Amino acid sequence: MTSVIRSTAVSLGLGYFILGSAALVLFAAPLWYAWQGTIREGRAEILLADAQRLTDIYRRDGPEALKTFIDTRVSMQIAGERILLLTDANLRPVAGNLPAWPRNVPAAPGDYVIQVDLGERGGIQAAHLHVVPLGQYNLLVGRDNRLFAPLEKRFWYGLAGAVAVLLIAGLLIGLITRRTLMSRVESIRQTVSAIIHGDLKHRLPTHLSDDELNTLSRTINGMLEQIEVLVHGVRNVSNCIAHDLRTPLAELRSRLEELALIRPPPAETFAEIDGAVADVDRVIRIFDALLRLAEIDAGVRRSGFVPIDVSDLAATAVEFYAPAAELKNIALNFHSDGALPVSGDPVLLAQALSNLIDNALKFAPDDGIIDVAVRRREDGVVEIAVTDNGPGIHDAEKAKVVERFYRGDASRGTPGVGLGLSLVQAVAKLHGSALELSDQNPGLRVVLALS
C-alpha cells in the first residue's frame, strides 16, 4: 500500500510539473514570436526614419553637410550602437563608423542582416542594415542586433526559473499529497482491520470537507452499517428459527416417543399421527415463508411483474375472507375507485393483502369492522388500505412489527410465527414502496402503496 501511495504521489507531482511546463511553453512560444516580430518591425521603422532624415539633409544641404552630420553623430554615440557609412560611387568611405563597405552587402537598395566588423571601434555579431543610393554616393544605415540581447536573456532566464519553480512545487505537492494520503489510508486500514477481526461497530473516519476520500468513506460507512444490520438480522433470524422450531419439533418428538412407549389403540395412534403431521406442517410453513422472503429480498420475483387490476385483486381477497369474518360477526367492507391498473407480481400482492386481512381478523373484536379500500392518490400512487378497530400497535412497536419473527404483546396468544408483516414489508419494498402503519384510535390502519 505504501508503494502504491508513493507511486501515486510521484505521478501526481510529475504530472503537475509536465502540465505546468507545457502551459509555460504554450504561453512563451507565441509571446516569443510576437516579441521577435515587434523587434524586427521596430528596428526596420527606426532604420527607415534614420535613412529618411539623412536623405533629407543630403537633398537640402548637399553631400558635405551630410558628411559633417554623420561624423558629428558618430562621435556622440556609443561605439557599435548605430552604423552609419557614406561612400562615393566606388564604395570608398567618406564618413561614418565602418572602415569599409561590407563585402556581403551590395550597393542596391534594400534591407540586409549580416555579420559586421567595426574594426577599432568595436565588433558586432549581427546587424540590420539599410542601403540608400544617393546619386554619386551610397548611404548605409544600420542597427546592432545585440541591443535587445540582455532582454532576451532575461526572458529565457525567467522561463527557466519558472520551470524550476514548477518542478519544486510539483515535488512539494507530491510529498504533501503522499503524506496526506498515507494518513487517511492508515486510518482506513486500522478501521478495516478492526472490522475484519469482528468489531462491526467501527466506521471509517470522516471530515467536514467533501473531498473524494471523504465521500468514499461516507459511502463505505453506509455499506458497513447495512452489513451490520444484515449480520445482526441473520443472527436474530437464526435465533428466532431455533426458538420457533424447537416447540413443534419437541412436540413431534414427544408424540412419537409416547407412541413408541405406550403403543395406544389405533384410533389414538392415528390422532397422534395427525398431530405430528400438523407439527411438521408448521415447520414447513416457517421454511416456506423464509424462502419466499429470500426470493423477494433477492429481487428474483421482479421477473413475475405483469399488468394487474388492484381493485379486482383486492375484491377477490375480501370475498375469500368474507366467510371467516362472518363467523366472528365482523363487518368486512370493500371500497374501490374502479379499475386501478399497476405493474406488479399478482401472487405476492395477493399474499400480502391476505396477510393484512388475516391479521385484522385476528385482532378485531367480535362485531368489529374491517375496511379494505383501494384508491389512486393525487400523486398517481395506488393505495391499498386495511383498517380495523382492534387494539392497534403501540408507537414503540411500529418499527419492530415488520422485523422477522417479532411478536408483540398483543399477539402472544394468537397463532403465527411473526413473519406476516415481514413478508408484506418485503413485497412493498419489491414494488418500490414501504408499509405505512398509523393509529385509528382505536385500531390500526395499514397502507400498501404501489407506484
What is the tens place of the pLDDT at every residue in 230-239?
Answer: 777 666 666 6
Q: Give the H or E element holding residue 306.
A: strand 306-309
> Residue 206 has what pLDDT?
78
Measured from the Cβ of residue 232, the count of other Cβ atoms closer than 10 Å reads 11
> Residue 183 has what pLDDT?
78
| 99 phi and psi angles, rounded to 5 deg | -70, -25
**pLDDT tier for residue 202 given thresholds of 50, 70 and 90:** confident
Which is more confident, 384 or 210?
Answer: 384
- For 442, which DSSP code? S
Span 47-63, average pLDDT: 83
| 429 within 8 A of 295, measured Cβ to Cβ | no
Query: Which residues have C-beta within 8 Å of that of residue 323, sequence separation ≥ 6?
Result: none
**pLDDT tier for residue 120 given thresholds of 50, 70 and 90:** low
Q: How many CA atoms lie within 13 A of 293 on its CB side?
A: 21
Q: How far apart are CA 40 and CA 43, in angstroms?
A: 5
> Looking at 115-119, 207-211, 249-253, 430-434, which range is the least confident one?
115-119
| 298 within 8 A of 430, measured Cβ to Cβ | no
Give ∠ CA 149-76-147 in degrees, rounded to 5. 5
Q: How far apart are CA 448 and CA 348, in angstroms?
A: 12
Beginning with the edge strand found earlier in the chain, give each strand of the sheet holding 123-134 in spatial order.
93-96, 82-87, 137-144, 123-134, 110-117
> Residue 7 has what pLDDT?
56
**pLDDT tier for residue 1 given thresholds of 50, 70 and 90:** very low
**Cis-peptide, bond into residue 442, ω within 30° of zero:** yes
Q: How far apart are CA 83 and CA 50, in angstroms?
A: 11
> Residue 11 has what pLDDT?
66
Amino acid at 269: T
Q: How far apart are CA 348 and CA 354, in angstroms?
A: 10
Highest mean pLDDT among 159-163, 194-198, 312-316, 379-383: 312-316
Q: What is the mean pLDDT of the chain?
A: 76
Q: How far apart are CA 348 and CA 36, in angstroms?
A: 82
- For 374, which DSSP code? E
Give residue-wise pLDDT tens across range 384-442: 888 888 887 776 676 666 666 565 555 444 555 556 677 777 777 777 777 788 887 78
Q: Which domains does the chain have, with CATH numbers?
A: 2-150 (3.30.450), 212-298 (1.10.287.130), 302-450 (3.30.565.10)
Which is more confident, 127 or 331?
Answer: 331
Span 88-117, average pLDDT: 79
> Looking at 50-54, 267-271, 285-289, which range is the least confident one?
285-289
Query: Which residues have C-beta within 8 Å of that of residue 36, sequence separation ≥ 6?
Result: none
The answer on pLDDT for 381 being more than 80 is yes
> Residue 418 has what pLDDT?
59
> Residue 413 has what pLDDT?
45
Q: How far apart are CA 72 and CA 75, in angstroms?
A: 5
Query: Which residues have C-beta within 8 Å of that of residue 365, sequence separation ≥ 6?
Result: 389, 390
pTM as predicted: 0.45
> Residue 4 has what pLDDT?
47
Span 137-161, average pLDDT: 75
| 375 phi and psi angles, rounded to 5 deg | -150, 165
Give residue-wise pLDDT tens across range 167-186: 777 777 777 777 777 777 78
Give residue-wise pLDDT tens across range 3-47: 544 555 566 656 666 776 677 677 667 766 666 666 677 677 777
The answer on pLDDT for 243 being more than 80 is no
